[in-house]
Structure 1
Amino acid sequence: MKIIERYISRELLIPFMVVVVLLTGLFASFSSARLLAGAVTETLGLSAMLKLVLLKTLIALEVLVPIALYVAVIIGLGRLNKDQEINVLRSSGVSGKRIIYAVLIVAIPVGIISGILSIYLRPWAYAESYILNAQAEAELNTNRFQAGRFYGSVNSGRVIYVRNKDDANNQMANIFHYIKKNDHNEIIVAKEAQQQLTPNQRPRIQLSDGYIYRLTHAATKDDVIKFEKMTYFTDINDVSNYRRKATTTRILWESDQPREIAELQWRLSRPIATILLALIAASFIRTAPRQDKSDRTYFIAAMVFAIYYNLSGLAQTWVEQGVVSSMPGIWWLYLLMAGGLGLLSFGPVQKRLSR
């Protein structure tokens, strides 16, 4: 690598690393705040919540990395342009192709990393997070419950309330439990309860002196059951449910279902999207002297990325819904981006770079 390419690459790598760290930190903080607001620490515990934040952050990296590179190219080349360094390089005979080559030296490895994150790390992180969420919804670990508070889960439709609790004896009094199921809603009311934790067995709660109300959509089929003693087992069968985002790329490759094809194409497109976005960002930098319009450049760059982000979601949705077949699938968007990049390459921007 020549000294010019090495210098430009370093000017891109430094802001890239800074932006990646900032975006990752912001996303992790936002995820932590949402989980804390949902009282996840009280149902799962602090260590499990931190693991869930880490998994969500790993999933987000496939999007955060291309964004960081896009911003880094604009910041890095923008600084070189503002300080007239690109003009000096141009005067010394450095062509625009060498500048683009320096951008590719950074963009291609970052694109490969983005592809690895999307193809391998993302499905693993989704699988782990699904298991963790399912365990949080299935477990009734009353050791973390506090008296006089409601605990619920939007995904499972479960609501639990304990009016009184004796932590020393692991006893609870005046319990209300509601869960929404596919064909009916179930309400359990009991005067006393005690959680029984047995190694290598399903979590269970011993309920005493209560009622079970099973409410169906047809009012004539509602049931009311009175019990003196009842053992309530938590259902953890849904933990292993199939979900396409957690499916390995190899399995998706063999599928002919539109939703799975869309997921596969999204994963495979991450390296291409990363490199194309970096090249588009490089095309925004105008190098003509005394024409510093950085504010306008940043605004246009933000608008272009917003348009790309919305179109990428739309392209994936079209494939999932069968509006667009597997070919062209989502690839039409990247062909459009490559075409637009080609037009820019022969436009005034590239002419300024190559002078």
Structure 2
Amino acid sequence: MLLIERYIISETRRPLMVMVGILTFIFASYSSERYLAEAANGTLALDVVMDIVFYKVLIALEVLIPVALYVTVVLSLGRLYHDTEMTAMSASGISPARIYQAITLLAIPIAIAVALLSMYGRPWAYANAYDLEQQSKTDLDVKHLLPERFNVNEENGRMILADQIDRNTGRLQDILIFDAGQQSTHLFRAQEAWIADPNPSNPVLELKKGNTYSLEHIGTRDQQMSFDKMTLRLTPIEPTADFRRKAASSNNLKSSRELADKAELQWRQSRGLSTLLLALLAVPLSRTAPRRGRFSTLLPVAVVFALVFYAGDICKNLVAKGNLPLSPGLWSIPLLMGIALTLFIARDVLNARIRFR
């Protein structure tokens, strides 16, 4: 590798690592605050918070790494322009193509990592994070329930109130369960309750000595029943179709005929190429006049990133709804980015040739 390429890569690589670390720390802090608040409110077990935050950070890296690379290239090359180093390189006959080559060498392994993360790491993290959240948020997990207060599950609106909770045996004393169904509301009051099966996909609760009430939303056929012992099978919390799609493996998405699954697959497949093209687009966008300031181009830089990001999201929705054909589908965004990049490179190389004639 030539001296110029090594120099540009070194000047970009070090702030890139710092940028990724800062963005990861900010996102992890935000996620920790959110899930710690849920744990404090009794809607999430405290011992799974850090695991969930880890999976959420892994999911977010698909976006954080391309953002960090894009911004770092702009700021690093902007500093070289600000300090007239790029002017000196140009005056010494260094072709603009070598600047693009240096960023390409830096961005290719990062783009490959993002592609692998999007294809395999992200769905794995989604599936594990969902399992942890559902196992912890289930109404039957007494580790996060608080006594003498209404413990409301926001996923299904179910409410549990217990006078006493024995966390060693998993038994709840003087318990009230409110479950609002689509056609009727069910109310259970019992002296004691315990977990028979904590599996969130098929939750089972045993009730001892109490009453149950069934109140119809329409009609007057309300029912009341007393019992000595009752086995209660609660309605499990089902993941949304969008979440199941994000957690599905890439192989399953390939075999699916659903347009939404095809859109999700194209999104994963295009992340690596989009990361590479976005880094290369940062090269012409970083160009500033000497002594003008390396932050003077942040507005167009931010606009370009917003256009690329939201255009990809819009195309994904259009493909999922059948309003945009699968070919090119989401690949239209990298295609447009490639065309724009080709024009920038041709312009820079042509200007350099004219200048040295």
Same fold judged by TM-score > 0.5?
A: yes
Secondary structure of 1:227's counterpart equals strand
Q: What code does the residue aligned with 2:265 have?
A: L
Q: Is 305-314 or 339-348 further displaced after alignment?
A: 339-348
> CA distance change for structure 1 residues 123 and 198 in 2, over 3 Å: closer, same or farther?
closer
**1:114 match:** 114
1:199 and 1:136 mapped to 2: Cα distance?
10
Q: Alignment partner of 1:243: what SS? A: helix
Note if contact 1:193-1:205 (Cα within 8 Å) is conserved in structure 2: no
Distance 1:162 1:333, change over 3 A: same
Letter in 2 for 1:153: N
Match of 1:268 in 2: 269
Within 5 Å, which residues of 2 pair with 1:54-65? 54-65=54-65
Whether the aligned pair in 2 keeps the contact of 1:283 and 1:349 (CA below 8 Å) is no
**Is residue 134–residue 238 contact of structure 1 (8 Å, CA) maintained in 2?**
no
TM-score (normalizing by structure 1): 0.88
Structure 1 residues 229-275: Cα deviation after superposition (integer angstroms, max 9, x where no partner): 22335666958999111111112112221110010000001011101
Conservation of the 8 A alpha-carbon contact between 1:41 and 1:49:
no
Residue in 1 aligned with 2:247? 246
Question: Are the structure 2 counterparts of residues 196 and 45 from structure 1 closer, same or farther at C-alpha, using a change threshold of 3 Å?
Answer: same
Q: Which amino acid aligns with 1:246?
A: A
RMSD, matched Cα: 3.1
What is the CA distance between 1:68 and its match in structure 2?
0.8
**Unaligned residue ranges in structure 2 (runs of 5+):** none
Question: Would the alpha carbon gap of residues 354 and 228 (structure 1) be closer, same or farther in structure 2, given more than 3 Å must change?
Answer: farther
Distance of 1:199 and 1:328 partners within structure 2? 46
Q: Which residue of 2 aligns with 1:19?
A: 19
Q: Is the 8 A contact 2:178 2:185 kept in 1?
A: yes
CA contact (8 A) 1:134 1:236 kept: no
| Equivalent residue number for residue 302 of structure 1 | 302
| Cα separation, 2, equivalents of 1:188 and 1:353 | 83
Question: Which residue matches 1:339?
Answer: 339
Which shows bigger deviation, 305-314 or 55-64? 305-314
Structure 1 gaps, min length 5: none
- Equivalent position amino acid for 1:193 in 2: E
**TM-superposition CA deviations, 1:98-146 (whole Å, max 9, x none):** 0000000111111100000000111111111121222124351224432
Which letter maps to 1:72? T
For residues 116-155 of structure 1, the aligned pairs below 5 Å read 116-155=116-155
State how far apart, in whole Å, the 1-side matches of 2:350 and 2:213 are.
72
Q: Which whole-Å deviations, capped at 9, do the CAs of 1:271-307 have from their partners, x for residues lacking one?
A: 11101111111111225445x2533301211122122
The CA distance in 2 between the partners of 1:259 and 1:216, in whole Å, is 37
Could you tell me how far apart the structure 1 residues matched to 2:147 and 2:254 are? 50
The 8 Å contact of residues 276 and 338 in structure 1, kept in 2 or not, is answered as yes
Q: Distance in 1 between matches of 2:199 and 2:301?
A: 56
- Aligned CA distance change for structure 1 residues 149 and 95 (closer, same or farther; 3 Å): same
1:184–1:216 contact (8 Å) kept in structure 2: yes
Amino acid at match of 1:208: K
Q: Tell me whether 26-35 or 158-167 shows the greater mean CA deviation.
A: 158-167
Structure 1 residues 235 and 136: alpha-carbon distance in aligned structure 2, compared to 1, 3 A threshold: farther
Q: CA deviation at 1:20?
A: 0.8
2:319 aligns with 319
The amino acid of 1:286's aligned partner reads R
CA contact (8 A) 2:207 2:232 kept: yes
Matched, 1:195 2:214: no
Q: Give the whole-Å Cα distance in 2 for the aligned partners of 1:105 and 1:302.
A: 24
**Aligned AA (1:69):** L
Q: Which residue of 2 aligns with 1:92?
A: 92
Deviation at 1:97, TM superposition (A): 0.3
Task: Please tell me whether the aligned partners of residues 95 and 354 of structure 1 are also in contact (alpha carbons under 8 angstroms).
Answer: no
Question: Identity of paired residues, percent?
Answer: 38
Q: Could you give the per-residue CA deviations for residues 190-247 of structure 1, whole angstroms, max 9, x where no partner exists? A: 3x22425789998754423333233444334543333232233566695899911111
Contact conserved, 1:86 with 1:287, CA < 8 A, in 2?
A: no
Mapped to 2, the partners of 1:354 and 1:180 lie a distance apart of: 75
Given residue 281 of structure 1, which amino acid in structure 2 is its aligned partner?
Answer: A
Tell me, in whole angstroms, the C-alpha distance in 2 between the residues paired with 1:219 and 1:46.
Answer: 43
Q: For 1:259 and 1:200, locate their aligned partners in 2 and report how far apart those are by CA, in whole Å.
A: 30
Change (3 A) 1:319 1:199: closer
Matches of 2:39 and 2:93, distance apart in 1 = 61
Give the partner amino acid of 1:177: I
Q: 1:167 to 1:119 in 2, by over 3 A?
A: closer
Q: CA deviation at 1:78?
A: 1.1
Alpha-carbon distance in 2 for matches of 1:336, 1:277: 11
> What secondary structure does 1:226 align onto?
strand
After superposition, what is the alpha-carbon deviation per residue over 1:55-83, rounded to whole angstroms, capped at 9, x for unaligned? 11111111111111011101111111111
Asked whether the 8 Å contact 1:140–1:234 carries over to 2, the reply is no
Q: Are the counterparts in 1 of residues 112 and 272 from structure 2 also a CA contact under 8 Å?
A: yes
Alignment check: 8 A CA contact 1:5 1:101 kept:
yes
What are the within-5 Å matches in structure 2 for residues 198-217 of structure 1? 205-217=205-217
Measured after TM superposition, the shift of residue 19 of structure 1 is 0.9
1:73/1:162 CA distance change after superposition, 3 Å: same
Equivalent residues of 2:82, 2:293 under 8 A apart: no
